[in-house]
A and B are shown apart, each in its own frame.
Chain A
């Protein structure tokens, strides 16, 4: 897991690189002193750290193109970075590469309230878009919990979601157009402000591509009218499986809630200490189920939600009476990360997604794993989408705990794949889940991913070593999805 700091750059002439970049960047936009590089050594997944050779902080697209062209010419890897809140090590620097920060691209270029679109630079923070749109009663719908900090460029790269994406969609559903630069420094338009751009849907491939295909330099997002009104139902259950079944029952009743989130008992206890929201602490699980729209619409939907939750065996149902109470219900859900941070010096957040029907059984399995690995795990997650976020608590200063946490996380992800799900719903593969990719995909599929990457980045210089495991790595990890019980990669050495 720990990539050791590398003092010398293998194969790359740092002096030549610095010289080439100095030519294309203004003063103050290039950093190469060790201490200046330190803040860039990791993203939100702090267990992995690595210093880059240099950090480039351009302010114009032309400068980005200059950096990319220089790197292409010298064969130097480039890792793009937004705010560095990613949770899978996607923005982890390459030891022999340039860390290309888009943090200075913070301008909203155009906001058209009539057409409900905004054209923004990649370093614009997610929440800043909604703030700029607020005077027109519009907002940018995807709302990751990190929205005060994370950038739209990072959101595009991870296909970020939020608590409201069950109804309003993920980044891929709310971005109309992306302008990017290839590693050759050439501009490409993906998607369009008009529906159904010509050609194949390269925009869909760009979204969620974790900085591996092109560097995003401009994004057109769709803005959504703000719902007039919202109300939230808090339902308590004395059994996690029953709470999972209630989620399915809501959907089966034809309801698509604005948000449908679950917290298990340990999570509820942890956040309650933090926010004092008055959560029922004796419940094994609680569901937060939100409705938004016109007041009439919300009243109709809340009535329906209440009935389904009651019929599903909820032991306590509360409906928010006013906006203050609604925000209080959500306060705990939103404070899950800080609460985990309070319980334990370190935590590890997983992101597997499974069919909804397996939510209860997976939670039970995780309880079993807590015994096996001797670590606690709390669960706060997007139940409506089946997107689980187990937070494994550990202390990196205790010998062996980090390794146990990693093994615990890996087992959860393996189980997600076995249950018909995926190893990552919204945080990306990055460097973190690269081994589990071997379980989810066959050799031919992984090879196809390589070819897709090469179609965009023939030189293989954009964020190399992330997302797609090499076949050697899969052999080492000892897993690869196989059919017919054949041993994967008999030609590769076993470890």
Chain B
């Protein structure tokens, strides 16, 4: 155990004894996400560095404070990538923050979510115990899958010390295509295409334009592109475009204010079954992940947004802006909440870590 981890252990034990809460923080790029929390900041950035990377194993292990950009550069140098294209939301983003936030980018359409790539974690629980779950191998059913439980947990269970992630080779070829089409048409097309063996790796609809990305073997991309038609995008421009989608730097995802520092409209992240019909809620909307993710900038009351999401078989979270003292994530049914509470109790009995960041009472 490193000296730093030993210090954290003491810190955690002292906090648990004193009823103090700790706010776990990497680069702070995702401070906006989740409910507002208080507590002393425990900055993970000093615990950094890639501890193991063997491209032929398709696994990389990194300490939580490792800058995400540094990790991705290391992979890119070997022709590999984090297939879930995590958003950084700033140069300071860390690997630990990335996994704790559990956010995936455009490529989730084909690659699946971040949690699918979490192979193992080393964590510190609320008793200051250092625990390892999962490992560095692709298949592992020894014990419960606690590693994936930490993905997207927003730090409520413990400190991520180190994570092992599955990586994938960068596709041999990519091409993006653009189509003029309305919302319902886009949803229908994306689901039709999703049912065919096409190498679709990302989709984005906004303002009557649908953009899709194809990735894979050159021949596959070529054949799919010929089949789909549409207007091919310039390669460099397409790369910028998908980066902007991933980093929410394009409309309507980018924060736009009338004047600097002025109020921004809340941004809702509405997840629905991919073939669900149009939202029909007022506001500015865009669609990702083959129809499964609908972003909405709106002033509508939370209740209205949640009810509509629920009616479509999905759920809505207040991604950015709005009231961050109330619940920002979709409320959990009672039976599920009871399990969540007992899990919190199991990992963090004194309630030291990020209390309330995910849900009140966790």
Contact = CB atoms under 8 A, between A and B. Distances in A.
A116 B340 CA distance: 30
Nearest to A157: B141
B273 A200 contact: no
Interface of B: 54-59, 79, 102, 104, 108, 112-113, 115-116, 125, 129-133, 135-146, 148-149, 151-153, 156-157, 168-170, 172, 191-192, 194-199, 216-220, 222-224, 271-276, 289, 292-293, 312-315, 317, 329-333, 335-337, 339-340, 342-343, 345-347, 358-359
A105 B125 CA distance: 40
A357 B146 CA distance: 26
Given A158-B141, A420-B136, A441-B143, A196 B339 contact: no
Interface stretch (A24-32, A143-151, A289-297): A289-297
Interface stretch (A122-130, A184-192, A399-407): A184-192
30 contacts: A115-B273, A116-B195, A172-B145, A172-B148, A182-B335, A189-B336, A192-B315, A195-B271, A195-B293, A197-B315, A199-B332, A199-B358, A199-B359, A200-B157, A209-B145, A251-B55, A252-B55, A296-B217, A296-B223, A300-B217, A385-B139, A422-B135, A424-B142, A425-B140, A428-B141, A433-B142, A444-B131, A445-B131, A448-B146, A455-B346
Task: Choose among B140, B194, B343 the residue with the greatest number of A CB atoms under 10 Å from its CB.
Answer: B140
Interface stretch (A5-13, A332-340, A348-356): A348-356
Interface residues of A, number: 98
Interface in A374-431: 382, 385-387, 420-429
A454 B346 contact: yes
Nearest to A467: B143
Nearest to A249: B56
Nearest to B127: A444
Interface of A: 112-117, 136-138, 158-159, 161, 165-166, 169-170, 172-173, 182, 186-190, 192-202, 204-205, 207-210, 212-213, 225-228, 248-249, 251-252, 254-256, 293-294, 296-297, 299-301, 353-357, 382, 385-387, 420-429, 433, 437, 440-442, 444-445, 448-449, 451-456, 458, 467-468
Given A425-B139, A448-B125, 6 more contacts: A116-B195, A194-B292, A194-B312, A198-B317, A225-B198, A248-B56
Given A205-B148, A387-B138, A437-B143, A114 B169 contact: no
B292 to A, nearest CB: 5
A445 B347 CA distance: 11
Contact of A186 (B133, B168, B224, B335): B335
A208 B271 contact: no
Given A194-B315, A255-B169, A293-B220, A426 B141 contact: yes
Given A296-B219, A297-B223, A454-B342, A442 B142 contact: no
Contacts of A207: 145
A442 B132 CA distance: 9
